[in-house]
Amino acid sequence: MKTHLYTVLIGAMAFAILPPLAAKEEKPPKQITPGKVIIPFKQMRRIWGELLTLDPVTRKGTFQAEHNDEVFEFCAMPYAEMLHHATNGDITDFKIGERAIFRLHPDKDGKWYWLTYIQDEMNMLNGHKEYYHIQALDPKAGTITFMHGKADKSLIRWENVVMHTNEETKFWKERKPASFKDLKVGDMIRAKTKGMGKGRTCLAWQVFLDDDSLLQFREAQIAVHAANMKKHGLTGYVDEVGSNTLALTLFRETREFASKLKAGQKVKVAPAGLDRQPKADPVDATILSVKAKGVLHEVKLSTQAPLKDFKVTDVSRLWAETE
């Protein structure tokens, strides 16, 4: 018994003098960094709001939040997703007054300022498979009262929202023009609307009585985006600059086109400003390699011409030669 007690005491003393286990070090939170595609998901706000101002050159603007009418200033990162008509778009596609979701991240002072997407109303409804369920109709006033949620109403975001219409509102059913008279209580619709200066009350630009009518607009936007990528080039950041080699990270908006790039392919590439517009003449290049990295693509290039106009963290544009 004494031997056993002695062993227990010695063990207890040894345990008491052991150093405490080191706490697991947490990685510092990701921060917006010039020249890097970083979306700090742990530090973000996604806010429904009405676009008030927008400068496509500086990529700065303001919007008014619907839940409390607070006005936010923002600056869109070069890689910010501009989700327009339920697919990729450009910052110039957005109209003043448009209702959308704005994804913001804090700057170094903690102000919610850096923007990494504007998701238009059509993209949100289509992507989340949600609808506006008509609760009441007033043909004389031209108003539609609705609740926003899933088709089966398993999720309802809000109710008794008033959507106004006027003589400029367009209605669509089976991809053809329709009218207010085609609506009935209980219908599930989708829409593209503008804010009216306060809260969620809105004015409809487009009202879609079925999914296919919205998809018609989406298909048209896909074609517009493809034409823009062909004309203006695929966007990305410059990661490395050698004497005759270049490494780029192409943004998410380019992935459908970047995924078709191949080693040995002839392309043109130019440096661009924060407004994403080329700031020097493009140079001829040959693709050395292409690597998908999630929704991004890493591309390495070789050139004959010197790359004096390119700098690491610059925005870039890349044009692929096509038949």
Assess whether 134 and 166 both reside in one domain.
Answer: yes
Examine the pLDDT at 33 and tell me if it is beyond 80.
yes
Taking the CB of residue 193, how many other CB atoms lie within 10 A of it? 25
Assess whether 162 and 216 both reside in one domain.
Answer: yes
Report DSSP letters for 219-255, one per residue. Answer: HHHHHHHHHHHHHH-EEEEEEEE-SSEEEEEE-GGGH
The mean pLDDT of 37-54, rounded to a whole number, is 97
Domain span including residue 316: 233-320
Assess whether 172 and 66 both reside in one domain.
Answer: yes
Assess whether 54 and 102 both reside in one domain.
Answer: yes
> Quick one: pLDDT at residue 23?
57
Assess whether 299 and 194 both reside in one domain.
Answer: no
The mean pLDDT of 88-112, rounded to a whole number, is 96
* Domain-ending residue, one of 206, 232, 258: 232
* Domain-ending residue, one of 186, 215, 232: 232
Assess whether 59 and 165 both reside in one domain.
Answer: yes
Examine the pLDDT at 7 and tell me if it is beyond 80.
no
Closest CA to 193 of 171, 177, 174: 171
* Domain-ending residue, one of 181, 200, 232: 232
User: What three-state secondary structure class fits 110?
Assistant: coil
> Quick one: pLDDT at residue 244?
94
Let me know: does 310 contact 244? Beta carbons within 8 Å. no
Q: Is residue 94 part of a domain?
A: yes
Assess whether 211 and 314 both reside in one domain.
Answer: no
Assess whether 195 and 85 both reside in one domain.
Answer: yes
> Looking at the 3D structure of the chain, how many domains does it have?
2
Give the CATH number, domain containing residue 286: 2.40.30.10
Mean pLDDT estimate for the chain: 93
Examine the pLDDT at 8 and tell me if it is beyond 50.
no
Percent of the chain with pLDDT over 70: 91
Assess whether 102 and 212 both reside in one domain.
Answer: yes
Question: Taking the model in full, what pTM does it have?
Answer: 0.89
Confidence at 28, pLDDT banded by 50, 70, 90: confident
Q: Is residue 25 part of a domain?
A: no
> Quick one: pLDDT at residue 9?
47
Q: Compute the Cα dihedral for 252, 257, 263, 266 and give only its sign.
A: negative
Q: How far apart are the first and last CA of the chain?
A: 91
Q: Is residue 241 part of a domain?
A: yes
Q: Is residue 242 part of a domain?
A: yes
Q: Is residue 9 part of a domain?
A: no
Phi, psi of 140 (to 5 degrees): -65, -45
The mean pLDDT of 44-59, rounded to a whole number, is 97
Q: What is the pLDDT of residues 241-295, one digit of tens each?
A: 999 999 999 999 999 999 999 999 999 999 999 899 999 999 999 999 999 999 9
Q: Is residue 54 part of a domain?
A: yes
Assess whether 188 and 176 both reside in one domain.
Answer: yes
Give the CATH number, domain containing residue 53: 2.40.50.320
